[in-house]
Chain A
């Protein structure tokens, strides 16, 4: 499964990548912000893991754009962020996020959420 990691923090991209390696995801692409992510979404991406607060284009806008594009409208998206208010989460749901993880996360939580969204996506396909 090809996975796109979107975060402006090099540390977080590396940590997410390490956690994904640990649960068997090795085909990884990295992007530094929403705009970079859109450029790298070539139709082969099967899972997007994105931060919210980023320069140039934030995660919420990225999700909206992915959902508006028929090619990426069904791609499972996980938001991994420090933002945890109810308003934030409802905005993310409205934008089309499939699962929501708060930083700092554990690899177990990441695996659990990925398994959920991937199984739902494969079930609905």
Chain B
């Protein structure tokens, strides 16, 4: 028996070997290395110098641009996540009623999710084009005189990115909400109806509480995804104009691969890591308070 157990353990490690090697080389060691590099000053071509917490001190207390970058990312997240979730919830609720062609509709809402963000960014750059774009043409038809400069304007570039992000990510949250809605049993609604929960009350007192595990999950996933915005900023605006769309990941990219400040960029990446981890932990803490499991 013990020989059999040993043989089983041996096969287990053989099955695990490929993933273990890849996990060590491309995930575990790099995470530790990132932490290590963040304590250095290193331009990739000369020897790295140990810098202690200097990178973090500069980023957190001195670097005005990084503060702007944090602010931009926060604005982006704070607008994108709630609007996208609200719209996704409404669409899921309506689709869940069972309308004609709902499978086709579901697929259409999901198309932007599977599309390359680079291509999506190109399409919307063209739509937002301030001189020849179709959006401003429509707005002027509607009688808007003071047309926004969109991607050329430090005031409107970030809102433009937010619009694209909402459009592109809506389908993903919608699909998760749909799955959650289908998990709510008919009995729950029937019991609610007896207690007088009809119309909007039905959703307020039955759907929303019973959907809270899904809502919780969608919130976390959307938050984490939004904090990592890069492709849109890279293709649509290169972080501009005047750094108005420079986001944390774009700043990491700039410092690492344009300015070759590996230590500084790593420290910024670690701060992103800390932010994401904090949100995840806060959410898990709050989960007990507002998430209802039946």
**A and B: partners?**
no
